[in-house]
Amino acid sequence: MALTDASRPALRRHGDPRQVRRNTLIGWSFILPNFLGFAALTLLPVVAALGLSFMKWNSYSDPEWVGLANFERMLGNETFWVALKNTTYYAAGHIPLTMAAALGLAILLNEKLRGVGFFRTALFFPYITSLVAVAVVWNMLFNPTAGPVNLLLEALGVADPPGWTTSSDWAMPAVIITSVWRDMGYYMVIYLAGLQAIPPEYYEAAQVDGANAWQRFRNVTLPCLRPTTFLVLVMVTVGSFKVFDLIVVMTDGGPGRATTVLSQLIYREGIREGRFGYASAISLVLFLIVLTVTVLQFKVQERRER
């Protein structure tokens, strides 16, 4: 097979232009089926969203360039600020609680014990349970008068337990608890993989040096887990800011506007009301927030590495 023999070193060196062209063709032929769909339905919309946010366009009119008008309108709209505040509130609760729960569970599961596989399976299961079922069950558990959560609180001596999803002060905490319960198993698996990649020799060395358990956790586990923690942090953050379905099904943004979040606003304005330009402006803000937070986290991570 003279031809394939000749092609072999070329794959490494990219020397011969004919070989490069051939590889390019082969490479693209693999990627193309997926790329067509990806380009038309993901890449193009991402770019279009950017342009649309500077246009006025709805179902009845033609697109028209309006500069920053959408953003001005957005900043003057009170609902936008409420949604921004609620999204931040959700993220501020969801991110640390999910990460702490996931890390705690992963540390327990990292013990060499019998039956760990069962616990891991059970703790992971909420993550893949359908969201509607999750929301419906938790709504019932949080029932203010006869739900198990409040019955438990009363039994523990809480005289006036919260109204959860019926109260504008407690609806967001209820959503956060539900989402932490659902998501922690997923990040627990990632943490567990990170923990298992730490060489046992590190712990042995620390022990020989007389480090106690807390010192080993602080000086071995946490530093070795830093890349994992960083990855989890970015993933949880992106997930938090785009929260949507759980809130739609559990509270639909209510009571009042107590749990209305940004992505819900995008859906209402863009798809239900057909204000494409205005909705895209809100999307751009959502995207910029996620981007800024992610870049900030990257910077902090970089500085720590040094």
Partner 1 sequence: MSTTLPGRLREAGELPAPLPVTPPPASARSRALRSRVRSALVHALLAGLTLAVLVPFVWMVSSSLKHDNQVFSVPVQWVPTEFVWSNYADIWTRIPMLTYLRNSLFLAVTITFLQVLTGSFAAYGFAKVRFPGRDVLFLAYIATIAVPWQAYMVPQYILMQKAGLTNTFTSLILLQAFGAFGVFLMRQYYMTIPDELCEAARIDGLSEYGIWARIVLPLSRPALASLALLTFVHTWNDYMGPFIYLTSNELWTVQLGLRSFVGLYDAEYAMIMTGSVISVLPILLVFLLGQRYFIQGIATAGMKG
Kindly state the smallest distance separating residue 237's Cβ from partner 1, in Å. Answer: 10
- Binding-site string for partner 1 from residue 235 to residue 254, where x marks contact by CB under 8 A and - marks none: x--x--xx-xx--xx-----
Q: For the CB of residue 64, give the shortest distance to partner 1 in the complex, in Å.
A: 15
Binding span for partner 1 by CB under 8 A among 34-42, 64-72, 88-96, 296-304:
34-42
Which lies closer to partner 1 via its Cβ, residue 44 or residue 68? 44
| Binding status of residue 176 toward partner 1 by CB under 8 A | no
Q: What is the distance, to the nearest Å, from the Cα of residue 52 to the centroid of all Cα atoms in its chain? A: 25
Q: Which amino acid makes up residue 45?
A: P
H or E, element range at 257: none
292 binds partner 1 (CB under 8 A): no
Distance CA 247, CA 258 (A): 11
For residues 279 and 266, is the Cβ–Cβ distance under 8 A? Answer: yes
Minimum CB separation of residue 235 from partner 1 in Å reads 8
Tokens of 125: 């299961």
Contacts (CB under 8 A) with partner 1, residues 182-221: 185-186, 189-190, 192-194, 197, 200, 203-204, 207-208, 212-214, 216-217
Looking at 77, 161, 257, 287, which residue binds partner 1 (CB under 8 A)?
287
Residues 201 and 115: beta-carbon distance below 8 Å = no
Q: How many residues does the chain have?
A: 306
At 49, the amino acid letter reads A
Q: How far is CA 88 from the centre of its chain?
A: 13
C-alpha radius of gyration, the chain, whole number: 25
Identify the helix (H) or strand (E) that includes residue 55: strand 55-56
In angstroms, rounded to a whole number, what is the distance separating the alpha carbons of residues 200 and 219?
14
- Which residue number, 178 or 258, has a Cβ lying nearer to partner 1? 178
- Please state the closest distance from residue 78 (CB atom) to partner 1, in A: 21
11 binds partner 1, rule: CB under 8 A: yes
Name which of residues 144 to 163 contact partner 1 (CB under 8 A): 145-148, 151
Q: How far is the CB of 198 from partner 1 (least distance, A)?
A: 12
Site for partner 1 in 87-146 (CB under 8 A): 104-105, 107-109, 111, 113, 115-116, 119-126, 128-134, 136-138, 140-141, 143, 145-146
How far is the CA of 92 from the CAs of 139, 176, 236, in angstroms?
22, 10, 11
Binding mask 48-87 for partner 1 (x = CB under 8 A): xx--x-----------------------------------
* Minimum CB–partner distance for residue 148 and partner 1 (Å): 5
Cβ(255)–Cβ(166) below 8 Å: yes
Element (H, E) at 198: none
The site that binds partner 1 (CB under 8 A) totals a number of residues, namely: 114
